[in-house]
Structure 1
Amino acid sequence: MLDALEVVTTVVVGVMVGVEFSVAFVVNRILDALPEDSAQLGHAHGGRMLGAVMPVWYITSVVLVAAWAVAGWHQDGTGLVVTAGALLILSVVMSLLLLVPINNRNRTWTPENRPADWKQQLNRWQRYHYARVAVIIAAFTSLTAALA
């Protein structure tokens, strides 16, 4: 049973890391290359779509890692699992404090109502997102190391 939990947790966290990495280094660059209105509309749509999915994914990841840590408490690698959990919790805190406020504004913007500094706000979101991606990559690395 623990083996299955380890695999499911690693896959769920790994796919989440892949999605967030893709947003940071592929999707945002594609959107930023579009003409101004299209870029802003694409970012707003992405904010609505991923803003609905990612909170569930992040919380599920934290719960799975916590379950793994509890179920495998006396096994080798538990310290790495706990570290991964702490990093995932940090990513949730970063999201709530830094990224979600910007995303909540961005997802309502249209070319008619966006603020004058919309590009600066999106650039700030992207910088915070790079930091969050680094944190969740570290968490995923800890999980995979715990399997070894």
Structure 2
Amino acid sequence: MLNALGIVTTVIVGVMVGVEFSVAFIMNRILNALPEDSGQLGHAHGGRMLGALMPFWYVDSLVLSAIWAVAGWHHDGAGLVVVAAGLLILSVVMSVLLLVPINNRNKTWTAENRPADWKQQLHRWERYHYLRVAVIIGAFTLLVTALA
């Protein structure tokens, strides 16, 4: 049962990493290459779509990792799972404090109400997102290693 929990947790975190990696290195580049303000409108739409899903995904990943850490406390790899859960906590804190406020503003912007510094705000979000992706890749790597 513990092995199944580890596999399910690792797969869920791995898919989340894949989505966030794709946003950082594929979707953002596509959206930023669009003419004029089309990229911002695309970011806003993506923020509404993924903003509704990702909080649950991050929290579920963290909860599953914590359950795995507690259930497997006396098994090999428990320390790796604890550190991975710590990294997932960090990713949630980063999201709430750094990324969500920018995303919440961006997803309401239109051509009529967009602030003058909208490009700088989107670039700041992207920098924070790169850092968050690195954190969750670290967590995923630790979970995979704990399974091995």
Are 1:140 and 2:140 an aligned pair? yes
**What SS does the aligned partner of 2:64 have?**
helix
> Matches of 2:137 and 2:88 in 1, distance apart?
10
Q: How far, CA to CA, are the matches of 1:25 and 1:37 in structure 2?
A: 20
Aligned to 1:76: 76
Alignment of 1:48-127 (within 5 A): 48-127=48-127
The alignment of Structure 1 onto Structure 2 pairs a total of residues equal to 148
Q: Deviations over 1:64-99 (max 9, x none)?
A: 001101111100000000000000000000001100
Counterpart-to-counterpart distance in 2, 1:131 and 1:51: 18
2:13 is the alignment partner of 1:16: no
Q: Which amino acid aligns with 1:17?
A: V
TM-score by length of 1: 0.99
What is the CA deviation profile of residues 34-90 of structure 1, one whole-angstrom value per residue up to 9, with x for unaligned ones?
012211110100111111100000000000001101111100000000000000000
Structure 1 residue identity aligned to 2:25: F
How many percent identity over aligned positions? 80
Q: CA deviation at 1:3?
A: 1.3
Tell me how large the CA RMSD over aligned residues is.
0.6
- Paired with 2:134 and 2:106, the residues of 1 have a C-alpha distance of 23
Asked whether the equivalents of residues 24 and 126 of structure 1 are also in contact (C-alpha less than 8 Å), the reply is yes
Unaligned runs of 5+ in 1: none
1:13 CA displacement: 0.1
Partner of 2:4: 4
Q: Hey, what's the Cα distance between the residues in 1 that align with 2:118 and 2:3?
A: 46
Q: Return the offset for 1:4.
A: 1.0
Structure 1 outlier segments of 4+, above 6 Å: none
The answer for unaligned runs of 5 or more in structure 2 is: none
The corresponding residue for 1:128 is 128
TM-score, normalized by length of structure 2?
A: 0.99
CA distance in 1, matches of 2:25, 2:90: 21
